[in-house]
Amino acid sequence: MATLTEAEAEAQLPTRPGATPDELAIVAALRNGDEGAFASLIEHYHSAMVRLASMYVASGAVAEEVAQEAWLGVLEGIGRFEGRSSIKTWIFTILVNRARTRARREDRSQPFAALEQSLHETDEPAVEPSRFLDTPGRWQGYWVSYPTAWSTLPEERLLAQETRRLVAQAIASLPPAQQEVITLRDIEGWTAEEVCVLLTISEANQRVLLHRARAKVRRVLEPYLSEV
């Protein structure tokens, strides 16, 4: 099993979204051996890379190793980076390729491999079915009692340490693929398109994963934020 070279990794990517002028400046700086440019990249991306790698490999220590290897791949490939994708997508593609190779060597299943199938086999509702009227008639499928809006709550309550703890706990309990998508989208701020390219999943599956993940976090928060 061959590992993709960094040039091949770049060739796999679609041409959008391309590197921005800012990014091309970072690439140029890296090629010139500017340590500050490298330091800023690792500060931005390293933790997210380790987290992503840990979905593929057995331990946090191996994930750290894979991420460090990926950085070496980035440095070795930077001379050939053509800016056809964003540098972030390129770096993370190198990471994912390394993590997949490592996972195959460890004979581990890939988190997104059986996704198409498993997604449509399990049908988890966003809201407990008991929240909706089930008696046939005009109001079947309507709320038994209304949820309450949260944007009217005091900001201290919404941003309280306890809320954060619940959110973090809810995310940690999600299946790996959902965890990855909600983290990239809502914590790291990636676009849907970037996530699809990186994880090689379809737009529709990306949305289903995101939907389930967000719905679960909301469900965990509801009893807490609806207390008067």
Rounded Cα distance between 54 and 106, Å, is 13
Cα distance between residue 189 and residue 177, in whole Å: 17
Of the pair 43, 107, the CB lying nearest other proteins is at: 43
CB of residue 54 to other proteins, shortest distance in Å: 14
Q: Contact positions toward other proteins, by CB under 8 A?
A: 33, 35, 38-39, 42-44, 46-48, 64, 68, 71-72, 75-76, 125-127, 129, 132, 140-143, 145-151, 158-159, 163-164, 167-168, 171, 182, 186-189, 192, 203, 207, 210-211, 214-215, 217-218, 221-222, 225
Query: 110 or 191: whose CB is closer to other proteins?
Result: 191
Supply 148's token pair.
Answer: 């309450």
Shortest Cβ 142–other proteins spacing (Å): 5
* Alpha carbon distance 70, 80 (integer Å): 15
Residues 227 and 154: their CA atoms lie apart, in Å, by 13
Q: State the nearest-atom distance from the C-beta of 217 to other proteins, in Å.
A: 5
CA-CA distance, 18 to 87, in Å (whole number)? 8
| Closer by beta carbon to other proteins, 5 or else 163 | 163
Minimal distance in Å, beta carbon 145 to other proteins? 8
Nearer to other proteins, 43 or 121 (CB): 43
Q: For the CA atoms of 47, 49, 50, 51, what is the dihedral angle to 10 degrees?
A: 90
**Could you tell me the smallest distance in angstroms from the CB atom of residue 51 to other proteins?**
9
**CB of 104 or CB of 224, closer to other proteins:** 224
For residue 62, the one-letter residue type is V
Evaluate whether 219 touches 127 at the Cβ level (below 8 Å).
Answer: yes
| Pick 3 or 163: Cβ nearer other proteins | 163
Other C-beta atoms lying within 10 Å of the C-beta of residue 197: 21
CB of 222 to other proteins, least distance (A): 7
- Peptide bond between residue 17 and the one before it cis (omega within 30 degrees of 0): yes
| Angle, helices 35-53/87-105, rounded to nearest 10 degrees | 40
Structure tokens, 206: 């990306």
